[in-house]
Structure formats: structure tokens, C-alpha cells
Amino acid sequence: MSTALARHILVKTRQEAEQLKQQLAKSADFGQLAKKHSLCNSRKRGGDLGEVRPGQMVKAIDNVIFRKKELVVHGPIKTQFGFHLVEVIYRG
């Protein structure tokens, strides 16, 4: 079964997600932004979701983790939890 290592930042608004994505594009540290802004418990680990398998995350996030390009920040992706920025570190 395939797995992937990913990290994310969860915020309440699309605008906040866009602002963080702009900071990341200017070389801001993903882990530091996650610790400061993310609403998810993964913020304590810099947004690290650890190894995930297909079906573990909500569908919209699952699609990014298992279908989109690695080492690129994707989003904002809207879910019932808010807006996510997602980076896939690797898929194995």
C-alpha cells in the first residue's frame, strides 16, 4: 500500500491561507508558519502529518497528497475544517 509524508497549515479563511502561501513563496519557513498560524494539532510538529495512507484524510486533502506534485505548496484547499496549504514531501 502506498504512503506519503506530508505537512499542512490549517487556517479559517482563504485570505489568511493566501497570505501564508505568499510568505512561503518568499522563502518563509513552512514549519515556523505552521507553528504560529495553524489551527491543527499538527502545528506542534511544524504541520507534519507524518506518514499517511490513502483514505486517512478528508477527500480533498487525500487528492492533493496522492495526486499532486511533490515539494510544492498546494492550496488553499477548502474542507469542513477551513482552508489548508499542503506540501507533499514524498510518496513511497
Instruction: Say yes or no to pLDDT of 55 above 90.
Output: yes
Instruction: Say yes or no to pLDDT of 1 above 70.
Output: no
Average pLDDT of 21-46? 98
Average pLDDT of 37-64? 97
Q: What is the span of the domain harbouring residue 25?
A: 4-91
Q: Mean of the per-residue pLDDT values for the chain?
A: 97
What whole-number percentage of the chain has pLDDT above 70?
99
CATH number for 87: 3.10.50.40
As for how many domains the chain has, the answer is 1
Instruction: Say yes or no to pLDDT of 46 above 90.
Output: yes
Which residues lie closer than 8 Å to 7 by C-beta, 6 or more apart? 30, 31, 34, 42, 46, 47, 48, 49, 86, 87, 89
Stated pTM of the model: 0.95
